[in-house]
Amino acid sequence: MSNIQLSTVKTFYDQQGVPREVLLSYDVYREMLRSICELAVETKQAYFWMEQWQAMERAADEAAAQGQFRTFDSMDEMLDFLDAQ
């Protein structure tokens, strides 16, 4: 929303000075909507950036670099392996 300037949005107040309506152009509306959608995505993915999750990501990367992984030829083979654990 950094492209939105106060001069592009008009606020209308009632007689007591309480804001009641806002008028903005369609372009400003679209920019605000885009920003809100980006924030919603960031919020849903916020867990990924938490230190605990990042520590698990680093541990997984290290394990993969050391060859500590297994590949499977099919989903059924992988599920059988997991069931046997």
Q: What residue segments make up the domains of the chain, in order of their start?
A: 1-44, 47-85
Query: How far is Cα 54 from Cα 60, in angstroms, rounded to an integer?
Result: 10
- CB distance 21 to 12 below 8 Å: yes
pTM of the entire predicted model: 0.46
3-class state of residue 42 by DSSP = helix
pLDDT tens-digit map of 7-64: 678 889 999 999 999 888 888 888 888 888 888 877 888 888 788 999 999 999 999 9
Place of tokens 């980006």: 38
